[in-house]
Amino acid sequence: METSKRMKRESKRQNNLNISDFLSKGMEKMRASDIRDALKLVEGKKIISFAGGLPDPETFPHNEVKEIVRMLEHSDFSSSFQYGATLGMRELRKELAKFVSKRGILNANEDNVLISAGSQEAIYILCFLLLDPGDDIIVEAPTYVAALNAMRLRNPVFHGIPIKNNGMDMDDLEKEIKEIEAVGRKVKFIYTVPSSQNPGGVTMSMDNRKRLLELAEEHNILIIEDDAYGFLAFDGNAPDAIKSLDTTGRVIYTSTFSKILAPGFRLGWVIASTEIISKMELMKQSIDLHSSTFTQRIALETLRRGVIERNMPKVRKLYKEKRDVMIKSIEEWFPKNVKYSVPDGGMFIFVWLDQKIDTRKLLQDAIKRGVAFVPGSGFYHDDSGNNTMRLNFSRPSTEEIRDGIKILGALIKEATT
Ligand SMILES: Cc1ncc(COP(=O)(O)O)c(C=O)c1O
């Protein structure tokens, strides 16, 4: 009798509980992934996936890493298993300060480097380091969804600048900055993925890089340069990083081992002024103390032995072949009025469909026919871009690309008529 009363009281109490009443404002704005929700519908069924952003496992240097681990076993296992410095291993920071000369960054030394748990952690730290709720920030439209989500946690006011073939449109950018200033507000930072952008697949020209930095200097704005794909230009010649032009410490540069070695290592890095680096160090201490010592030790050895240097041309060649197959299939199977980017590097093609097609709805049908992609609206700060989608070409095989694009093409034609 007593027990049943207690159970009733408890169930009444539980019914009052609505977790969303307790969430922070930033969390309210975070969106679940469309693709994850849609994939729940077909668990267990075989799907051709153009969603996600996974590297082709072929690009992982299995044998070289095995050799390195064997070498460590004999010489260095204990120190690789130990706690380490928050900034990251000094030798690795030194190697990275040299490595980024490939992106034109010539004046960095180890004190300008912080090793993060993937570049995602660096972006997250920067959002918490720099943003107060209500701050104005500028992003590309579309832009990298997980960066948007990290920013959303801080509740900023977003301003989006559409991307064109040469990256963010600089006239639009200047106009937006002036409009923000005209109402007595100030832009804190501009976040850009200037090379082989995710999701847009476009690369900012050198002229636009220079103009972006000039605008940032004139209006006293920081730039976060996310160079995740700068080493993956198919011809090996992405324009030098914006950071290479920076003489005052205004540009905070992030990049990653995820695309040139292995994402499972969870290693990225930041190149910035020592003031920024030491603030990031302080924040990282309270997040995860430091990034994995073991994978840092392996990454260091891959740089020293030239494993990454030798691997990069192979990755570029493979992804260029896959991009070509995807573009050719799109030309063959998609309706002629569809617009799409032709990326010069990276892993993604962005597609603009007829305005009346909602790609979130299209995804449900695509998944029923065994193909997945990411609806584009998630990449827009304001949830626009309902008629867009992102297609990944690095992970699927060339056969899957041909088959999947044919299926998608038929679906798009059905949705247009
Ligand atoms: C533009 C961009 N930035 C950052 C990241 C984060 O990568 P990671 O945390 O693996 O370094 C990604 C991953 O896909 C990305 O596309």
User: How is 139-162 classified by DSSP, letter by letter?
Assistant: EEES--HHHHHHHHTT--EEEEEE
Instruction: Determine how β-strand 48-49 pairs with β-strand 371-372.
Output: parallel
Write a three-state SS string for 252-263. Answer: EEEEECCCCCCH
User: Does one domain contain both 326 and 303?
Assistant: no
User: Does one domain contain both 324 and 220?
Assistant: no
Domain assignment present for 20: no
pLDDT digits (tens, 9 = 90+) for 298-330: 999 999 999 999 999 999 999 999 999 999 999
Domain assignment present for 9: no
Note down the domain range covering 275. 62-308
Instruction: Determine how β-strand 136-141 pairs with β-strand 157-164.
Output: parallel
pLDDT digits (tens, 9 = 90+) for 213-249: 999 999 999 999 999 999 999 998 899 999 999 999 9
Domain assignment present for 11: no
Bigger pLDDT: 119 vs 15: 119
Give distance in angstroms: CA of 103 to centre of ligand 1.
Answer: 17
| Closest atom of ligand 1 relative to the 229 alpha carbon | 1
Percent of the chain at pLDDT > 70 equals 93
Mean confidence (pLDDT) of the chain: 93
Q: Domain end: 308, 332, 352, which one? A: 308
The mean pLDDT value for 56-69 works out to 93
Domain assignment present for 2: no
Residues 6+ away with beta carbon under 8 Å from 207: 166
- Say if residue 195's pLDDT is above 70: yes
User: Does one domain contain both 276 and 332?
Assistant: no
Bigger pLDDT: 367 vs 15: 367
| Closest atom of ligand 1 relative to the 347 alpha carbon | 16
Other C-beta atoms closer than 10 Å to the C-beta of 292 total 17
Measured from CB, residues less than 6 Å from any atom of ligand 1 are 53, 118-120, 144, 193, 198, 226, 228, 256, 258, 263, 268
Pocket test for ligand 1, best of 144, 195, 196, 288 (most atoms within 8 A of CB): 144
Instruction: Determine how β-strand 251-256 pairs with β-strand 222-226.
Output: parallel
Residues in the chain: 417
Which of 137, 140, 180 shows the shortest CA–CA distance to 164?
Answer: 140
pTM here is 0.93
Give distance in angstroms: CA of 207 to centre of ligand 1.
Answer: 25
| pLDDT for 76 | 75
Domain assignment present for 4: no
| pLDDT for 12 | 63
pLDDT digits (tens, 9 = 90+) for 273-293: 999 999 999 999 999 999 999
Q: pLDDT grade, residue 18 (50/70/90)?
A: confident
- Placement of tokens 């690795």 in the chain: 92
| pLDDT for 34 | 65
User: Does one domain contain both 41 and 76?
Assistant: no
Q: How many domains does the chain have?
A: 2
Q: pLDDT grade, residue 179 (50/70/90)?
A: very high
pLDDT digits (tens, 9 = 90+) for 27-42: 777 766 666 666 665 5
DSSP secondary structure string, 219-237?
A: TT-EEEEE-TTGGGBTTS-
- Report the distance separating Cα 96 and Cα 113, nearest Å: 8
Which of 117, 150, 156 shows the shortest CA–CA distance to 133?
Answer: 156
Q: Domain end: 275, 308, 341, which one? A: 308
Which domain CATH number covers 320?
A: 3.90.1150.10
CB 360 within 8 A of CB 388: no
Atom 8 of ligand 1, nearest CA residue? 118
The mean pLDDT value for 6-28 works out to 74
User: Is residue 199 reached through a cis peptide bond, with omega within 30 degrees of 0 on the bond before it?
Assistant: yes
Q: Domain end: 292, 308, 324, which one? A: 308
- Say if residue 171's pLDDT is above 90: yes
The mean pLDDT value for 129-148 works out to 96
User: Does one domain contain both 298 and 332?
Assistant: no
User: Does one domain contain both 247 and 284?
Assistant: yes
Percent of the chain at pLDDT > 90 equals 84
Q: pLDDT grade, residue 390 (50/70/90)?
A: very high
The mean pLDDT value for 331-340 works out to 96
User: Does one domain contain both 224 and 100?
Assistant: yes
pLDDT digits (tens, 9 = 90+) for 79-114: 889 999 999 999 999 999 999 999 999 999 999 999
Which domain CATH number covers 113?
A: 3.40.640.10
- Say if residue 379's pLDDT is above 60: yes
Q: pLDDT grade, residue 182 (50/70/90)?
A: very high
Domain assignment present for 19: no
| pLDDT for 52 | 85
Residues 6+ away with beta carbon under 8 Å from 216: 190, 222, 223, 250, 251
User: Does one domain contain both 133 and 259?
Assistant: yes
| Closest atom of ligand 1 relative to the 193 alpha carbon | 1
- Report the distance separating Cα 138 and Cα 158, nearest Å: 6
